[in-house]
Amino acid sequence: MANQDACGPATPVLSVRDLAISLPYGGDRLNAVQEISFDVLPGKIVCLLGESGSGKSVIANAVMGLLPSGLLPTAGSIRLQGRELIGAPQAELRKLRGPSMAMVFQEPMTALNPVVTCGEQIGEMLSQHVRMDRAARRQAILDIMRRVHLPEPERIYASYPHQLSGGQRQRIVIAIALILRPALLICDEPTTALDVTTQAEILELIRELQTQNDTAVLFITHDFGVVAEIADQVVVLELGHMIEQGEKHEVLTRPSQPYTRMLLDAVPELSLRKRQPLPEAAPLLSARKVSKVYATGSWPLSQRHVHALREASVSVRPRETVGIVGESGSGKSTLARCIARLIEPTSGDIEANGRSVAHLRGRQLSPFRRDLQVIFQDPYRSLNPRQTVGSSIIEGPINFGVPRAQAWSRAKELMGLVRLRPEALSRYPSEFSGGQRQRISIARALACEPKLLIADEAVSALDVSVQAQILALLEEIQRLTSVGILFITHDLRVASQICDRVIVMQQGRIVEEGSVSDVFFAPREDYTRRLLAAAPGRDFSFARSADVQQDPVYPKSQQV
Amino acid sequence: MADARLLSSVVAVEPLAPRRRRSLLRRVISNWSVRLGGGVLCILIMAALFAPWLGTIDPTAMDPGSGNLLPGARGDFNSFDGDVIPHWFIMGTDSLGRDIWSRALFGARVSITVGIAVALLALVLGLCIGLTAGYFRRIDGIVMRVMDGVMAIPAILFAVSLVALFGGTLLMVIVAIAVPEIPRVARLVRSVVLSVREEPYVEAAIALDTPTWKILLRHILPNAVAPLIIQGTYVCASAILVESILSFLGVGLPAEMPTWGNIMAEGRSQFNQFPHNVLFPGIFLALTVLSVNVLGDGLRDTLDPKFNKRTE
C-alpha cells in the first residue's frame, strides 16, 4: 500500500495553497482561516501551532473533508499526492480516508466507540478498504497492536475502550490511523488529554512509526514543548492568519515575528526563579495525615474501598505558594477538596486558625470558609451562566454579612485589580473569553478577603499567553495581600515559575516535598525524575527576550 | 516569563466585547410552533372565558321539544322557567335538547382548568420532591422508590378509585390526575439536579458559604425551569385527555356538568344517527391537545439547549 510510489521524494504529500475557509454569517471574523500555504513532505512532521481560536483544527478538518456544515472553503487548493481535495465528492474522500490519509484525535475516549472491542474497531478500517480473510485480518490487527507497543495484544483485542488507560486508548486510535499505512497522518492535539509521562511515550511512538513508514505528519498543537520535541517544520497561526513558517530551529530560536516571540516568552520554563523570602509566621492552615477513602457498591459485603488519598500532610504560611504536582489520579485534587472542605476527609486533621475543621459540618464551617477560597480549573463551568458577573462576585460577601452596597463597591475595585472594566459586573459570563472568566473567578475568590487561596489547575485550560497573565496576576495579588496559595497543577514548568515549595504526589501519596530548587533540580525520588524527564521540550532553549529571567516589575496599581 | 509587553497587556484594562444577546423571550416568540400552538390555545382560552357572550345559552338547560336537532338548525328554546329564547343551534342539540355549542364552550372551561391545574400541581410537587431527592443523597433512595411505586399504579385506575372513594368534584379529579404525573416530573428534576450539582459553580457556591436553600434556588433550580415548562405542556395535554376519558367513562365529573367527555358519553348511544354529539366535542378536544403539544414542541426547540442548533 505504499502510496509514495507515484511521487518522488521531494514531492510534497500534502500541499495547501492560499486556503481560505469562511465562517458562517455572524461569526467573530469573516474567514476562519485565510491565505494559508504550506507543504508536508514525506517523512517530515509539520506542526501547526497557535492558540485557541487560531483555526488550526479547521485546517485539519478541511484536509480530511470533515468540515462542520457552515464552514466552506472559498479559495485556494488542498492537494494530497497531487489530487485536489477541495470540491472532491464525499465518496472519493471516503476512499482516501484510511489508505491515503488518517487522523488521530485529541480525546481518545470520544474517538472510540464505547460498545465495540478495540480489536474490532481496528479491524473495521481493514474491512472497509482491504479484502482479506478473518485469520489474516486478526493477524494484521495483532501486528499493528504490537507495533504501537500495546502490552498483551490478545487481551486488548477483546477489551472495550473503558477498560484501557488513556495512553493505551490513544495507542488504539493511532493503530486505527496507521494500519493502512497512509501517506499522510494528521494528529489533532493527540497528547493534550494525556499525562506528561504518557505524552512523552505517545510522542515517541508517533516519531518512531513515522520514521518507519516515511509518513508525512501534520501535527496540531498549542504546546511549544511538544513542538520542540517532535516538529521538523513549524507553521504559526494567529486568528486564522499564517504568521510565520519555517524550520523548527529557525522559528523557535530566531522568530522573525513579534507574535511568535510573544508566545515564546509566555511559555513557562522549568527554571529557578528568585522569590522574595517569606516572613516567619505560623501556618495559615496545616493538614496532618489526611486520608480519603471512597467506598463503591451499596451492599456492605460487596463494597470495594478506593484510597484516593493516603496520609497526606501539608501546611501553607502567609504569602507562601505551595505547589502540588502529579499526574491525573495522583490525588492532588482530592487533597485540595479535602482541605477546602468541599468533601469530608475520612481521617486526619485539618487545622486553621487554631481550630480543627476536618469534621465540622454545615454552618460550623462558615468562619473557615471565609478564610479560604477556591479557583477552579474550568473557567467555563465555574461561573453560573445564569447569573451576572456582579451577583456572582458579591454572593460570598453577602453570605458573610457584608451590606449589599459595600459588597458592590468592593466588587468594582476588584474588577480594577483583575483588569476588567467595572461595567463587566452587569454582564453574563458567556460574554467573556476563557482568560477573562478566570480573572472573574479570581475576583470572586478575593471578594471574601481570604487568607488562603486554592488554585486547582487554575491555568491549565488557558492558552500560554493568557496563562502567563493569570500567573502574573496571582503573584501580584499575593504581593499585595499576603495571601497563601495552594497551587495544584500537572505542569511542572508552571509550578517551577510560581511556587516556593512543591509537593509531588503519586497514587494518593506524597512522594517528595521540598523547595523548588531541591525537588526540581536535585530530585531524590525516581518518580519525580521520571516526571521531570517527561516534560516536553525541556532540553530546548527557546528564544526569549532579554528581560524574561528577571523578576517582574509591577506597576503601581491600586491597593486592595 | 512576564516581560514588559506581556505585563502591559495585563495592565491594560480590557475593553469589553460588544453586547450580543438576543432575548430569550424574542427567540421563543419567533418560533412558528410556539406561534401556532400558542395562538390556537389562546383562541380556545378566550372562547372559554367569554363563553356567555358567544351566542350560548345555559349549558345545563334542557328542552325536550328541541332534542336531537341537527347542526345549524334555528328555532326556539323553551326553558323550564317558561322563557322562549330564539336560538341558533350551531352544533345541534343532544337527545335532552341541550345546546352542544354552549356545552362545548363551557366544557372548554373545565378542560382547560383541569389541564392547567394538574400541570401546576404536578410541577410544583414534582419539583420539590425532585430537588430534595437529587440534592440530599441520603433520602434519595427512599423517595425515589416511593415514586417508582406510584408509577406502577395505572393512572386511569388510580383516578377511577380515587373519584369513587371521595366523589367526583373538580378538585378530586384534578388531584386524581395529578398524582400519577408527579413521579415523572420528580425524575426529570432529579436528573437535572444530579448533573448540575457536580458543576464547579455549585462547588464554588458551597465554598462561598452559600446556604443550601439558596444554592438550590439560585444555582440549581434555574437549570430545571426550561425542561419543567416543556414537561408541563405535555402533562397539561395528557391531563385534558384523561379528564375527558374519566367523564366519558362516567367516573369523572357529574354527568350534568358540561365537559367534553360527558357530552361524548351522552351522544355515544345515538352515534349512528346523530354523530355531531360526539364529533364536535371530539374536535374541540383534539384541537386543544394538539395545540398544547405543538406549543410544547416549540418551547422545547427554543428552550432546551440539547435541541438548540445554534452554536456558541
Q: How far apart are CA A77 and CA B71, in angstroms?
A: 72
pLDDT value for A283: 86
pLDDT value for B21: 54
Same-domain pairing of A164 and A295:
no
Please calculate the CA angle A191-A195-A198 and round it to the nearest 5 degrees: 70
Q: Which residue in the set B7, B16, B208 is minimally distant from A448, CB to CB?
A: B208
pLDDT tens for residues B182-241? 999 999 999 999 989 888 899 999 988 889 999 999 899 988 888 898 899 999 999 999
* Average pLDDT for B63-88: 81
Q: Is residue A35 part of a domain?
A: yes
Looking at CA atoms only, how far is residue A84 from chain B in angstroms? 30
CA-nearest residue to B141 within chain A is A298
Q: Give the total residue count for chain A.
A: 560
Given A214, A232, A264, the domain boundary residue is: A264
A147: which strand partners? none
pLDDT value for B6: 36
- How many CB pairs below 8 Å do chains A and B form together? 121
SS (H, E, C) A403-414: CHHHHHHHHHHH
Q: What residues in B contact A399, CB-CB < 8 Å?
A: 208-211
Q: What residues in B contact A340, CB-CB < 8 Å?
A: 207
pLDDT tens for residues A246-279? 898 888 888 888 888 888 888 887 777 777 777 7
Q: What residues in A contact B17, CB-CB < 8 Å?
A: 431-432
- Cβ atoms of A319 and A278 within 8 Å: the answer is yes
Q: Is residue B78 part of a domain?
A: no
Q: Is residue B87 part of a domain?
A: no
pLDDT value for A282: 83
Q: Is residue B16 part of a domain?
A: no
Computed over every residue of chain A, the mean pLDDT equals 85
Q: Do B312 and A378 touch (CB under 8 A)?
A: no
Please calculate the CA angle A508-A512-A515 and round it to the nearest 5 degrees: 130
Q: How far apart are CA A336 and CA A359, in angstroms?
A: 15
pLDDT value for A27: 62
Q: Is residue A409 part of a domain?
A: no
Q: Is residue A438 part of a domain?
A: no
Residue B18 has pLDDT above 60, yes or no: no
Residue A5 has pLDDT above 50, yes or no: no
Q: How far apart are CA A45 and CA A210, in angstroms?
A: 8
Q: Is residue B105 part of a domain?
A: yes
Q: Do B201 and A383 touch (CB under 8 A)?
A: yes
What DSSP line would sit under A341-397, residue for residue? TSS--SEEEEEETTEE-TT--GGGGHHHHHHEEEE-S-TTTSS-TTS-HHHHHHHHH
pLDDT value for B120: 96
Phi and psi dihedrals of A354, rounded to 5? 70, 15
Same-domain pairing of A312 and A248:
no
Given CB atoms, is B17 within the 8 Å cutoff of chain A? Answer: yes
Same-domain pairing of A254 and A193:
yes
Worst-scoring range by mean pLDDT, A133-147, A263-277, A483-497, B209-223?
A263-277
Beta-strand runs (E) in A222-274: 233-238, 241-247
CATH of the domain at B263: 1.10.3720.10
Q: A421 by DSSP, 3-state: which?
A: coil
CATH of the domain at A363: 3.40.50.300
Same-domain pairing of A122 and A246:
yes
Q: Do B209 and A557 touch (CB under 8 A)?
A: no
A513: which strand partners? A503
Looking at CA atoms only, how far is residue B17 from chain A in angstroms? 7
Looking at CA atoms only, how far is residue B182 from chain A in angstroms? 27
Q: What residues in A contact B10, CB-CB < 8 Å?
A: 419, 469, 472-473
The band of B14, judged by pLDDT with boundaries at 50, 70 and 90, is: low
For residue B135, give the H/E element and its range. Answer: helix B100-135
Same-domain pairing of A99 and A200:
yes
Same-domain pairing of A104 and A43:
yes
Indicate which of A395, A441, A491, A497 best probes the interface with B, i.e. most B CBs within 10 Å of its own CB. A395
* Average pLDDT for A191-217: 86
Q: Which residue in the set B11, B207, B312 is minimally distant from A342, CB to CB?
A: B207
Q: What residues in A contact B7, CB-CB < 8 Å?
A: 472, 552-555
Q: Is residue A54 part of a domain?
A: yes
Q: What residues in B contact A545, CB-CB < 8 Å?
A: 3, 5
pLDDT value for B309: 44
pLDDT value for B306: 57
Nine-digit cell string for A543: 528564544
Q: Is residue B260 part of a domain?
A: yes
pTM of this structure: 0.78
> Order of strands across the sheet with A372-375?
A372-375, A452-456, A484-489, A321-325, A501-506, A509-515
Same-domain pairing of A190 and A232:
yes
Better pLDDT: A398 or A25: A398
Q: What residues in B contact A360, CB-CB < 8 Å?
A: none
The band of A28, judged by pLDDT with boundaries at 50, 70 and 90, is: low
pLDDT tens for residues A277-335? 777 778 888 888 999 888 776 677 777 788 888 888 999 988 899 999 988 878 888 89
Residue B290 has pLDDT above 90, yes or no: yes
* Average pLDDT for B69-91: 82
Nine-digit cell string for A537: 521540550
Same-domain pairing of A28 and A130:
yes
Q: How far apart are CA A103 and CA A109, in angstroms?
A: 15
Q: Is residue B190 part of a domain?
A: yes
pLDDT value for B191: 92
Given A232, A264, A296, the domain boundary residue is: A264
- As for how many domains chain B has, the answer is 1
Computed over every residue of chain B, the mean pLDDT equals 85
> Order of strands across the sheet with A45-49?
A83-84, A72-80, A14-22, A31-40, A241-247, A233-238, A45-49, A216-221, A184-188, A101-104
pLDDT value for A550: 38
Looking at CA atoms only, how far is residue A505 from chain B in angstroms? 23
Question: How deeply is B193 buried, as exposed, middle or buried, from its count of CB atoms within 10 A (0-12, 13-18, 19+)?
Answer: buried
Same-domain pairing of A295 and A249:
no
A45: which strand partners? A217
Indicate which of B9, B10, B199, B202 best probes the interface with A, i.e. most A CBs within 10 Å of its own CB. B10
Full domain range(s) for residue B261: 24-62+98-307
Q: Do A381 and B201 touch (CB under 8 A)?
A: yes
- Cβ atoms of B12 and A434 within 8 Å: the answer is no
- As for how many domains chain A has, the answer is 2
What's the number of CA atoms in the CB half-sphere (13 Å) around residue A109? 8
Given CB atoms, is B18 within the 8 Å cutoff of chain A? Answer: no
pLDDT value for B11: 40
pLDDT value for B22: 59
pLDDT value for B193: 93
Phi and psi dihedrals of A246, rounded to 5? 170, -175
Same-domain pairing of A234 and A327:
no
Residue A15 has pLDDT above 80, yes or no: yes
Looking at CA atoms only, how far is residue A158 from chain B in angstroms? 32
Q: Do B204 and A387 touch (CB under 8 A)?
A: no
Same-domain pairing of A128 and A173:
yes
A295: which strand partners? A305
pLDDT value for A557: 37
- Cβ atoms of A445 and A325 within 8 Å: the answer is no
Worst-scoring range by mean pLDDT, A90-94, A189-193, A523-527, B262-266?
A189-193
Task: Report helix, strand and coil shares of chain A as percent, to nearest 5.
Answer: 40, 25, 35
Q: What residues in A contact B14, CB-CB < 8 Å?
A: 419-421, 436
Given A264, A295, A329, the domain boundary residue is: A264
* Average pLDDT for B139-166: 90
Given CB atoms, is B198 within the 8 Å cutoff of chain A? Answer: no
Same-domain pairing of A224 and A295:
no
Full domain range(s) for residue A533: 285-390+448-549
Given CB atoms, is B137 within the 8 Å cutoff of chain A? Answer: no
Q: Is residue B247 part of a domain?
A: yes
Q: Is residue B15 part of a domain?
A: no
Nine-digit cell string for A309: 488519598
pLDDT value for A560: 30
* Average pLDDT for A515-531: 88
Q: How far apart are CA A253 and CA A6, in angstroms?
A: 36
Q: How far apart are CA A77 and CA A62, in angstroms?
A: 10
Residues 6+ apart with CB under 8 A from B130: B185, B186, B187, B188, B189, B190, B192, B193, B224
pLDDT value for B82: 76
For residue A221, give the H/E element and its range. Answer: strand A216-221
